[in-house]
Amino acid sequence: MCVMHLKHLLVAISLVAVACSAAPPNIVWIIADDMSPDTGAYGLAQVKTPHLDQLAADGRRYTRAYSTAPVCSSSRSAFILGCYQTTTGLHPHDTENPQPLPEPYKPLPTILREAGWFVTNAAAPGSIRSGKKITKGKTHYNFAHDAKQLFDGDDWRKRKPGQPFFAQFQITEPHRPFPIPQSFDEDALAAIQLPKNYPDHPLVRRDWYAYQRSVEVVDQRVGAILDQLQEEGVLDNTIVHFFADHGRPMPWGKQWLSVEGLQVPLIVRGPKISANQVEERLVSLIDLAPSALKIAGLPVPEWMQGKAILSGDFPAREQLFAARDRCGDAMDRIRAVITKDHWFVRNFMPKLSRLNWSGYKEDQYPGMPLLRELQREGALAPFPSQWLASTRPETELFDLKTDPQGLHAITEPQVTADFTQRLDTWIAETKDQGAKGDPGTEPPLAEIQKNKRADYQRTWSKRLSKPEPSDAEKLAWWMKSYHLDAERAVP
């Protein structure tokens, strides 16, 4: 046989082998914006989430899943790369002058596209923002990127016949502002279980009620996505992931390295994933990118710090790490270590208060002026009152066995010393760039804070014709917005 015929034969054999091999399943990420594990499947009976509950019944629910940051752009930068944001220098939230990714880092969509996958990013079907229908999916990464180069489009159904796809669906809910209901179910209001560090106040309950109704909108969006996959006949050959970018948007949730700020829902269903599974071991959102590459049959780059959780042996971990740095105009640096039984936090700026000024929170969170007004009037209970101290401890340790929400700090010097060493080792080994503050390409912090303060002033000028209203004035506005008697804001 001549060499040319032999080459043709080998090519033919190769093509037959590829055709006979099982194609990888498609991959779908459904990402909610600012949501803790607040669904029926996670035990919150008063929230009606039938689609998410069914997704959990059909697959695997993770009870110990955490983001690496309690704010969207830092967290999203991390999980799209499978790498801690502190390692890549993408740790500040809302980088104002984002730069291209340095070598060797590549976003997951780019890696999959280069391997022949069809990659999309879209808003969930039916998404509305400011009264307008939206189709473009949120990215909000802290690195420069062109969505037209990062993705093939916003509709996975436009792929070539037989081409595997990776589709992201972005759900804007339950990000603030929450739609405020015209009426409130009194039984549902009474059933809300507020964490002990929140005052049991009618405004707080109505704000949480609005949040829970927004979670129910998330569920409707998930149902529409699953219907789309089912109608196109691909659901059974697609691994569907549902998760949030970080925890719920409440005063001590979003932006804080608390259980409330970092713990997220994570539900996965698809081929080879048995129904009604519950996984209680530690999982980080940076595990999702290497998991996708494993599913696709592609190598995981050495620089990825996450671990594949859906193929092969589950990566049993002793600990996870998380970081909070500048959030908009609020400069800060906090690090956390999470283990099965403990939650350790180091505040690198202990002279700052727990309610470090954030223009975003001050114009979006009714709880902010409420807490300060209750404290000023001596009407705030002792436990939440201590969270308003002007300073905070340098280190905090929580026992999750007895205090699963991580609210009551304990004193165990030896355990604290051990966690301090673990954190120091992680900072050195992962080349945590947080000590440098923002990248050198950022505007000065004072300029960022000035611009954010101007945004805050414009918001309140529209609401009250006053750019700098008092806490009492802001609280009265929120009380009226939630259909409450403003005169009875403080008992």
Tell me: pLDDT of 145 over 90: yes
Tell me: pLDDT of 184 over 70: yes
Nearest to 86 by CA among 359, 255, 237, 286: 286
φ and ψ at 203, to 5 degrees?
A: -65, -40
The string over 104-126, giving b where at least 16 C-beta atoms fall within 10 Å of a residue's C-beta and e elsewhere, is ebbbbbbbbbebebbbbbbbbee
How much is the pLDDT for 11? 33
What average pLDDT score do residues 274-286 get?
97
Within a domain: residue 353?
yes
**CA-based torsion, 325, 88, 137, 164: positive or negative:** negative
How much is the pLDDT for 261? 98
**CA-based torsion, 463, 365, 197, 252: positive or negative:** negative
The CA distance from 371 to 364, in Å, is 14
How much is the pLDDT for 2? 45
| Token representation of residue 475 | 């609280």
**DSSP bridge partners of 234:** none
Within a domain: residue 3?
no
Nearest to 243 by CA among 341, 170, 134, 314: 170
The CA distance from 347 to 352, in Å, is 9
CB of 489 within 8 A of CB of 213?
Answer: no
Within a domain: residue 12?
no
| Tens-digit pLDDT profile for residues 390-421 | 999 999 999 999 999 999 999 999 999 999 99
- The secondary structure of 386-437 as a DSSP string is HTT-SS--SEEEEETTT-TT--S----HHHHHHHHHHHHHHHHHTT--GGG-
State the residue range of the domain holding 120.
23-488
| Tens-digit pLDDT profile for residues 86-104 | 999 999 998 878 899 999 9
Least confident stretch, 234-243, 310-319, 461-470: 310-319
The string over 215-236, giving b where at least 16 C-beta atoms fall within 10 Å of a residue's C-beta and e elsewhere, is bbbbbbbbbebbebbeeeebbe
Tell me: pLDDT of 352 over 80: yes
Number of structural domains (the chain) is 1
Within a domain: residue 15?
no
How much is the pLDDT for 402? 97
Tell me: pLDDT of 362 over 90: yes
pLDDT band of residue 440 (cuts 50, 70, 90) is low
- Report the CATH number at residue 230: 3.40.720.10
| Tens-digit pLDDT profile for residues 313-330 | 899 899 999 999 999 999
Nearest to 306 by CA among 322, 286, 320, 285: 286
Within a domain: residue 10?
no
How much is the pLDDT for 441? 59
- State the amino acid at position 374 in one-letter form: L
What average pLDDT score do residues 378-397 get?
93
Higher pLDDT, 487 or 347: 347
CB atoms within 10 A of CB 283: 25
What average pLDDT score do residues 199-206 get?
97
The CA distance from 70 to 361, in Å, is 14
Within a domain: residue 6?
no
CB atoms within 10 A of CB 352: 18
Residue % of the chain over a pLDDT of 70: 95
How much is the pLDDT for 19? 38
How much is the pLDDT for 16? 37
Within a domain: residue 16?
no
CB atoms within 10 A of CB 190: 9
